[in-house]
Amino acid sequence: MAAPQTFEHHAQIVPAYHYFTFALVAVNLLYRLYRMVTALSLETVMAVVAAIALLMILFWARLFALKVQDRVIRLEMRLRLLALVPDLEPRLGEFTIDQLCALRFASDAELPALAHVVLSEKLDDRKAIKQRIREWQPDFARA
C-alpha cells in the first residue's frame, strides 16, 4: 500500500511518463543530433526538427493537462467554499488560482479559517499555503 498523502508526499509522478517516455524522447533527440553532426544532410536536419517537435509535444501536452486541471480545481474549490464558507461569497473572485489549488488539500473543518487567513494575509505561494494545512485531505484524482 502506498504511503498516505501528505505535504511531503503529494507530488504525483507517473514513472512511465516522467521517466520512461521523457528518456526515450531525449535519447531520440540526442541520437538525431549526433547523426546530423556526423552526416549533415537535409534528412538528418529534418530528423532533428521532428525530434525537437516530439519533445515540445511532450512538454506542451503536460502543461495543457495541468492548466485544465487547475481550472477544474478552481471551479471545485469555489463550489466547496460557497458550501463551507458562505460569508466569503462576495470575495470568491479575490482568490487566485494558486491559492485555490493549494487550499484544495485542506480538510472541510480547516478550510474556512485557512481561507480567511489566505485572503487577509494575501498569501499566494502554493507551497506556503500547503505548509499551513494541518488536516491534509488527499487528492488522488490528479493529472
Helix axes 111-121, 42-84, angle to 10 degrees: 110
pTM, two decimal places: 0.77
User: Could you give the C-alpha distances from 29 to 45, 58, 97, in angstroms and in order?
Assistant: 11, 13, 35
Q: Cα 77 vs. chain centroid, distance in angstroms?
A: 16
Q: What is the DSSP letter of 136?
A: B
CB neighbour list of residue 124: distance below 8 Å, 6 or more residues apart: 96, 98, 99
The predicted-structure confidence for 36-58, as pLDDT tens digits, reads as follows 999 999 999 999 999 999 999 99
**Tell me: the pLDDT tens digits for 82-138?**
999 999 999 999 999 999 999 999 999 999 999 999 999 999 999 999 999 999 888
Please tell me what DSSP assigns to residue 59: H
